[in-house]
Structure 1
């Protein structure tokens, strides 16, 4: 049960109703996380959706975006986002084995993806400035400076949703992860 009061979607008015309508039009339904954020903070939800639109228009593949979001969510222990990004990762073309490896931060056998996993895991699990050698390694795997910005944005939006779900204990409305 969610900790933040989330009324029925059909009772939404104003900015909340507007953003819920946009989500329904885009994906057919409003996931529980979006409903919970949107009722109490529609501007925050709009910001997350805008950031995701920037990522969608960027140069990282959808599989790379879901790799980042799944790994950050696994590192944070956000069950809701792990379930969501496991499904979205599958939709983006990641195999069940790759998804399992990403969730545990283990190599997938794809050198470029593994460099991304190592880099994101380092960013998600440490503090302070990372070594130049780590930046060089991810660049050496083929990631550009533009993509380093996009990796940072994907981590930031995921950190927000992870924190919110950990506060809210959002009811998971995605398939369970085995």
Structure 2
């Protein structure tokens, strides 16, 4: 049971506008955004960051969703594992490959450039102080640009924050 109420219909104009934007972009308002709606300023800020990182940006959606899935798995966030697995399948990734991305990303079907980005984001989550210089250099050797590095790290840090919020507040799975 959620430790925070999920807002179904926002009472303020700003949250209504954010919900409308989320529905337009995602087709639904996920429960974690419904939980954030208890604080309209945080709802708006988190949606704007999500939109900048996950909806728009320079990396392909499949790679960003894969980063999100790997981070959620490393953070043991069942909500996010289910959500990003579903989104990857909606993007055309076979369930077997989604499982491989989640459990054995080194053997997932990515090119060397995408593997370098994924590895950098994963290590930034698990051990940001160890080998960061080597991993950034390896990504650059694969032709990864600075904006792509920043976006991958942005996905990691945003998903990690969402994972912690979701777990602490016991936000239920989307139905």
CA deviation after TM superposition for structure 1 residue 13, in Å: 0.8
Could you tell me which residue of structure 1 aligns to residue 5 of structure 2?
A: 5
C-alpha distance in structure 1 between counterparts of 2:27 and 2:147, whole Å: 31
CA deviation after TM superposition for structure 1 residue 129, in Å: 5.6
Q: Name the stretch that deviates more: 45-54 or 109-118.
A: 109-118
C-alpha distance in structure 2 between counterparts of 1:28 and 1:111, whole Å: 30
Provide structure 1 residue ranges, at least 5 long, that are not aligned to the other structure. none
User: How far does the alpha carbon of each residue in 1:132-174 deviate from its partner, in whole angstroms, 9 at most, with x for none?
Assistant: 2211222233321110011111112111211111111111115
Could you tell me which residue of structure 2 aligns to residue 89 of structure 1?
A: 88
TM-score, normalising length from structure 1?
A: 0.85
Map 1:26-175 to 2 at 5 A.
26-38=25-37, 40-55=38-53, 56-106=55-105, 107-112=107-112, 113-128=114-129, 130-173=131-174
CA deviation after TM superposition for structure 1 residue 23, in Å: 2.2
Could you tell me which residue of structure 2 aligns to residue 17 of structure 1?
A: 16
C-alpha distance in structure 2 between counterparts of 1:74 and 1:30, whole Å: 22
Q: Is the 8 A contact 2:123 2:132 kept in 1?
A: no
C-alpha distance in structure 1 between counterparts of 2:64 and 2:97, whole Å: 14
SS of equivalent to 1:94? coil
C-alpha distance in structure 2 between counterparts of 1:101 and 1:119, whole Å: 18
Provide structure 2 residue ranges, at least 5 long, that are not aligned to the other structure. none
CA deviation after TM superposition for structure 1 residue 94, in Å: 2.7
Segments ≥4 residues shifted beyond 3 Å: 25-28
TM-score, normalising length from structure 2?
A: 0.86
C-alpha distance in structure 2 between counterparts of 1:69 and 1:3, whole Å: 24
The verdict on how the C-alpha distance between 1:18 and 1:95 changes in structure 2, with shifts beyond 3 A counting, is same
CA deviation after TM superposition for structure 1 residue 21, in Å: 2.7
